[in-house]
Chains A and B, each alone.
Chain A
Amino acid sequence: MNTLPNSARPSTIPFGAPNEQLANLAAQLRYQVVQMSHRSGAPHLGSSLSCIDIMVAAYWSALRIDPAESGHPGRDRFILSKGHAAPALYTALAARGFFPEAWLDTFATHGGHLAEQPAPHVVPGVELATGSLGHGLPVGCGLALAGRIQNLDYRTLIVLSDGECNEGSVWEAALFASAKQLGRLTVVIDYNKWQATGRSDEVLGLASLRDKWSAFGWDAIELDGHNIPALAAALAPRGEATGRPRAIIAHTIKGKGVPFMEDDNNWHYRIPTLEEVTQAAQHLQTP
């Protein structure tokens, strides 16, 4: 896996690093997912790029996790419910030391470590097999409920795609979480305005997502999903075992960081050529 010139390797960026370093880290992770798509021929690059800043804010400012104790009962839980963006999760986990960064080179290859979409127990740090949409939040409700029964104060963070909010199970879970007052549950919706084949507000009536989550009893806020400090502030612990769960509607751009991919839904499926990888690197090193 190549790194951008004049940049620190992602694995050297510590939890809680200053914002400038985190912005640089996000660029590095974006370059990694572009290379992973090119090498493996695996699609959904636009979907991975749109949630990189969310991953950085979660893994470098919010989640209390320790790669040395990836099964610790008190650890914070993270589920990437939009499993098709698995490269974004894998790059974050590798950089946080859950497995060797070299494994990213084996992404989606036979005999490798990293399945194209997360499989059960595929690598340490992956809490749930995802890829079929609408599963992460119901399971996240179970994780949050378990913490309350066990009197543990861990938090549960679930990242959904906007297209995923088409699934009825998401809204079943939203009703459950507010009724049970799962105050340590947080959802981030990567609202990049596209789903596989169309504008997500046109395919189904998603707007207004904030009003919907509010109406379902959640503490719903909206922010720029590429503003890492804003994400970090929104993800900061609120410490309530019971209370309204939090929904963060993160406005994002599909393909973010690579101008010729931004808001172009062809990159839901397109695979970058070697030349396009080089172009992407040039854009990413001078954001």
Chain B
Amino acid sequence: MRNAFAKAITELAVADERIVLLSGDIGNRLFDEFKERCPDRFHNCGVAEANMIGVAAGLALCGFRPVCYTIAPFVTYRCIEQIRVDLCYHNLPVTIVGTGAGLAYASLGATHHSCEEVGMLRLLPEMTVLTPADAVEVRALLADCFKLTGPAYMRIGKKGEPLVHPAPLADLAIGQARSLRPGTDLSLLVSGVLLPIALQVADTLAACGIKAEVISFPTVKPLDVQTLQRCFAAYPLVVTMEEHSVLGGFGSAVAEWLADYPQPSSRLLRLGSPDQFYHEIGDQDEAREHFGLTAPAITQRIRTVLNR
């Protein structure tokens, strides 16, 4: 995903002179082409994320469309007050891109995990929150970010994430969910990189005669409430999936909507990481296994809820 981001932002910046890329001293060689083609619009801000957000605000006040890029926990937790005051309070069009989000850097320890940042960013007025599932969604949504009039946060993985979408999604816009396969018994609403696992879950359930609609939900804020309305009207079970805490993230956003707009006969099951740090030594797959975010574990939980 980060390679897709680097390629996409380079193409966008060549075409749009307002785009300035700020990096928090990561992405060694990743942005070589950007630097070559737009030398005055790439700036390594060092390991100083609070300043980087302020610099982005200053650039945006002068008409630029800055992008702040570094590892997800550092470009969010570290500088949340700068994001709130400099970007949101002033409603400035700055795009924050957090790479290695969720459990992508599981092996580096919880300093490098971000399973709470969607919740933090979602709380901020004016902020758009994006959680693309693969490189194709990154490209589509990144282009759309530059049409916004206010700030956006996009969490992406690192590299090698499986491609879900076979072709570019030119028409995927911010705020839209995208159904990938139809169902009749439940819907799986997926925010981010667990989407391939959701498809595996749907395959396994189908073999048991349970048909799950799978929907990619790459925008957490603003929520696609029409799709929520449809799912809760159509299915007795709606499942949210995200590589993020069950507190505060996409599942919470759906639960809040459901509390405000109660639906008569549907149950919500929220799947994500629990309210705890990952203290084991393990990579992303092992961390997912620890938290029950594998296809077999999720399939089992759904079958237990459905009693089928």
> Judging by beta carbons under 8 Å apart, are B57 and A149 in contact?
no
Task: For chain B, give the interface size range.
Answer: 20 to 34
Where chain A touches its partner, the secondary structure class is: helix
> Judging by beta carbons under 8 Å apart, are A142 and B58 in contact?
yes
> Judging by beta carbons under 8 Å apart, are B46 and A147 in contact?
no
Q: Which residues of B contact A120 (CB under 8 A)?
A: 89-91
Cα of A191 to Cα of B189 in the assembled complex, Å: 56
Cα of A134 to Cα of B46 in the assembled complex, Å: 18
- Which of A73, A138, A144, A168 touches B53 (beta carbons < 8 Å)? A138
Residue of A nearest to B56 (CB): A142
Cα of A146 to Cα of B17 in the assembled complex, Å: 12
B32 close to chain A: CB less than 8 A: no
> Judging by beta carbons under 8 Å apart, are A138 and B91 in contact?
no
Cα of A58 to Cα of B139 in the assembled complex, Å: 46
B48 close to chain A: CB less than 8 A: yes
Q: Which residues of A contact B90 (CB under 8 A)?
A: 120, 128-129
> Judging by beta carbons under 8 Å apart, are B54 and A135 in contact?
yes
Q: Which residues of A contact B130 (CB under 8 A)?
A: none
Q: Which residues of A contact B52 (CB under 8 A)?
A: 138
Cα of A138 to Cα of B54 in the assembled complex, Å: 5
B81 close to chain A: CB less than 8 A: yes
B206 close to chain A: CB less than 8 A: no
Given the contacts A132-B81, A145-B43, A149-B40, A173 and B62 also touching, CB distance less than 8 Å = no
> Judging by beta carbons under 8 Å apart, are A139 and B86 in contact?
yes
- In the assembled complex, the CB of B229 is this many whole angstroms from the nearest CB of chain A, namely 35
B254 close to chain A: CB less than 8 A: no
- In the assembled complex, the CB of A184 is this many whole angstroms from the nearest CB of chain B, namely 13
> Judging by beta carbons under 8 Å apart, are A139 and B62 in contact?
no
> Judging by beta carbons under 8 Å apart, are A176 and B41 in contact?
no
> Judging by beta carbons under 8 Å apart, are A150 and B46 in contact?
no
Given the contacts A129-B90, A138-B55, A146 and B46 also touching, CB distance less than 8 Å = no
Given the contacts A128-B90, A146-B62, A168 and B56 also touching, CB distance less than 8 Å = no
Residue of A nearest to B60 (CB): A142
> Judging by beta carbons under 8 Å apart, are A150 and B62 in contact?
yes
Q: List 16 A-B contacts (CB under 8 A).
A: A73-B62, A129-B85, A129-B89, A135-B54, A135-B82, A139-B55, A139-B86, A141-B58, A142-B56, A142-B66, A143-B62, A145-B58, A146-B61, A148-B40, A176-B46, A176-B51
Residue numbers of B with Cβ under 8 A of A are 20, 40-41, 43, 45-46, 48, 50-64, 66, 81-82, 85-86, 89-91
Top-7 shortest CB links A-B: A142-B58, A138-B54, A146-B62, A172-B51, A172-B48, A142-B55, A143-B58
